[in-house]
Amino acid sequence: MLLMRYFIVRCIPPLVQVHRLNEGARIVVSVIEGLLGRGSGEQKWAQALEFMAVRGYKVDSEHVQESLKAAWQLLNMAQVFAGLKAADEDPMKKT
């Protein structure tokens, strides 16, 4: 019972925080992509960092930046599979 309590108190909260960060990044990336469309990578990156900062995330954190990059990669893969984008296009292209 003590081991179960330790697991619940020590292990579950960090997992929930990571899930919330990843979901938040996915939502922000989808919104930015919808608002600004394809291209303009630097502007989208700045806007995404601003959105994350408004939501209380430390945007200079490596975890936040990696979550945003991963979310953009997932969006890119979804667009490739849907036939909206060529597979060789870089999702973080600075255009």
Please give the residue range of the domain that contains residue 85: 26-95
Is residue 20 domain-resident? Answer: no
pLDDT at site 13:
63
For residue 54, CA distances in Å to 14, 22, 51 come to: 21, 16, 5
Is residue 86 domain-resident? Answer: yes
User: Cβ contacts of residue 72 below 8 Å, gap of 6+?
Assistant: 29, 91, 92
Cα–Cα dist 74/23, whole Å:
12
Is residue 33 domain-resident? Answer: yes
Q: What is the pTM of this model?
A: 0.73
Is residue 2 domain-resident? Answer: no
Residues 44-86: tens digit of each pLDDT? 999 999 999 988 888 898 989 999 999 999 998 888 888 877 8
Enter the DSSP assignment of 55.
T
Residues 8-21: tens digit of each pLDDT? 666 666 666 777 88
Q: Which of 85-90's residues contact partners 24+ apart within 8 Å by CB, and which partners?
A: 85/38
Q: How many domains does the chain have?
A: 1
